[in-house]
Amino acid sequence: MIRRADYAPPAFLIDTVSLEFDLVPKRTVVRNTMRLRRNPDAARAAHLELMGEQLEFVSAEIDGKPFGNTHAYEHGLVLDNVPDEF
């Protein structure tokens, strides 16, 4: 659960986002392409956290290259040691 009292400015700002959906009867594949940069008004985080539910992680890339510092968990995805802008 996320509570209002826990709010902090986001560590990253999203400049652009593009979503592609491949709708298949038993499985939907979503490809998310974003352009992000660190938020100068937020505390510096060592990781980027993307939240989601009932997801199966397939892969992550940063600037077109596979990114291995990725950990999927029950409520989303964490990317460790990301660059300041990507």
Rounded distance, CA 35 to CA 51, Å? Answer: 17
What's CA 1's distance to the chain center, in Å?
18
Domain count, the chain: 1
Task: List the domain range (segments joined by +) for residue 37.
Answer: 4-80
Query: pTM score > 0.85 for this model?
Result: no
Which tens digit of pLDDT belongs to each residue from 11-25? 999 999 999 999 988
In a domain, 85, yes or no: no
Query: pLDDT band at 1, cuts 50/70/90?
Result: confident
**What are the Cα distances from residue 69, in Å, to 21, 41, 77, 79?**
25, 25, 11, 6
The answer to the question of residue 86 being in a domain is: no
Q: Is the pLDDT reported for residue 44 higher than 90? A: no
For residue 7, what pLDDT band results from cuts at 50, 70 and 90?
Answer: confident
